[in-house]
């Protein structure tokens, strides 16, 4: 368990029994619900924007819009940047280039190559905490949760069900390694790694400063990728169509982009990990609902089983961490 999660859990974990499981969550719980629900809206904006722009163009403009809003925050907190070492700079570059630029680009490409199976791309993002746990073990030397091996196997089986259902893919390797699923998994891995790097930066910079740098530092890489792509900007020629694209892009950048992060991290300060895991269910629930209303995509029974398996693993791990941190926090206070 990391330093920032220790602080979050020690603030929220004040003892008591299961009957008060949600009573201590308060507004923090609902902020996480709001932030995660906004993530569920994200695919709809991206799918609509893909009709007019390439994936890299969408991600670039999204970061430009958010950078305009967060630059004053970075300027106000600029004194925090003094004394940053090479390891801190490396962590910030991973967060911005990997967790923001490349992960968002891969997620957008995954939607583009999903063949209409948007629910698969969406539900696979629930694997992010597992990637974060594994990377934290190797990069930050954190201990793995108890029985992590068997739990990981259960989660991998759930991942298989999300992607292929109850069938066994046969034929060429390309039938097994579906591009949309691989891109979605790559995005989840980068976002999980970004979480680990964010934990490393805790105590050095405010989360508002890290959030600002996350988007601003990604701009040079995204500019290079978009320029290297050489694709024409196929924006609608004036009128209402162009206005709708602009409004869509603005809402996509601010709602599931900036506002969701601010609400989520604000809520996480006073919410236990196990409760946050439940609150984050609003992410796939809203996303699946929108996919059903907009695209007519219905969740399959295999996807339901796969999601339950993955979520159960995450809930067991978060409960383990909460139970371990609680006694430690109390013993430290007594000391």
Give the model's pLDDT for residue 199: 77
> What pLDDT score does 118 carry?
86
307: which residues sit within 8 A by CB, 6+ positions away? Answer: 123, 126, 158, 162, 284
Query: What pLDDT is stored for residue 334 in this prediction?
Result: 40
Calculate the CA dihedral of residues 177, 183, 188, 193 and round it to 10 degrees. Answer: 100
N-terminal to C-terminal alpha carbon distance within the chain: 20
- Per-residue pLDDT at 319: 82
Distances 16 to 165, 170, 294 between C-alpha atoms, Å = 41, 52, 43
pLDDT for position 20: 46
pLDDT of residue 335: 41
Tell me the two tokens of residue 130: 């597992």
pLDDT in tens, the chain (335 residues): 333 333 333 333 333 444 444 444 468 888 888 998 998 899 888 988 998 899 999 999 999 999 999 999 999 999 999 989 999 999 999 999 999 999 999 999 999 888 777 888 888 888 888 898 888 888 878 888 888 999 999 998 988 888 778 876 554 445 445 788 899 999 999 998 988 888 788 778 887 898 899 999 999 999 999 999 988 887 777 778 788 888 999 999 988 988 988 888 788 777 776 677 778 888 888 888 888 888 788 888 998 999 999 989 988 888 887 776 555 543 444 44
Per DSSP, what are the bridge partners of residue 205?
202
**Contact yes or no for 283/37 (Cβ under 8 A):** yes
pTM: predicted TM-score of the whole model, two decimal places: 0.79
List the chain domain ranges. 3-11+23-330
Contact 247, 65 (CB under 8 A): no
* pLDDT value, residue 177: 56
**Contact of 212 with 95, CB cutoff 8 Å:** no
């Amino acid at each position: 368990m990391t330093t920032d999660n220790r602080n979050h859990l020690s603030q929220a974990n004040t003892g008591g029994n299961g009957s008060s499981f949600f009573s201590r969550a308060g507004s923090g719980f609902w902020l996480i619900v709001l932030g995660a629900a906004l993530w569920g809206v994200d695919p709809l904006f991206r799918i609509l924007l893909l009709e007019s722009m390439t994936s890299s163009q969408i991600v670039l403009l999204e970061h430009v819009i958010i950078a305009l809003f967060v630059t004053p925050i970075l300027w106000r907190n600029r004194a925090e940047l003094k004394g940053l070492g090479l390891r801190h700079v490396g962590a910030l570059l991973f967060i911005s280039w990997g967790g923001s630029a490349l992960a968002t680009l891969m997620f957008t490409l995954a939607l583009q190559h999903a063949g209409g199976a948007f629910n698969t791309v969406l539900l696979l993002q629930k694997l992010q905490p597992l990637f974060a746990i594994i990377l934290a073990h190797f990069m930050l030397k954190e201990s793995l949760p108890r029985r992590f091996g068997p739990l990981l196997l259960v989660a991998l089986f759930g991942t298989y069900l999300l992607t292929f259902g109850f069938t066994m893919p046969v034929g060429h390797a390309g039938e097994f390694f579906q591009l949309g699923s691989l891109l979605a998994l790559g995005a989840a891995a980068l976002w999980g790694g970004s979480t680990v790097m964010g934990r490393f930066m805790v105590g050095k910079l405010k989360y508002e400063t890290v959030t600002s740098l996350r988007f601003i530092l990604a701009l040079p890489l995204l500019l290079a990728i978009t320029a290297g792509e050489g694709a024409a900007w196929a924006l609608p020629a004036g009128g209402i169509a162009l206005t709708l694209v602009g409004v869509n892009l603005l809402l996509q950048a601010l709602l599931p982009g900036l506002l969701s992060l601010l609400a989520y991290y604000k809520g996480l300060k006073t919410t236990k990990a196990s409760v946050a895991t439940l609150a984050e269910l609003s992410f796939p629930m809203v996303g699946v609902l929108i996919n059903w209303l907009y695209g007519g995509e219905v969740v399959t029974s295999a996807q339901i089983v796969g999601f339950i398996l993955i979520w159960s693993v995450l809930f067991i791990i978060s409960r383990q961490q909460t139970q371990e941190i609680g006694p430690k926090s109390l013993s430290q206070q007594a000391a």
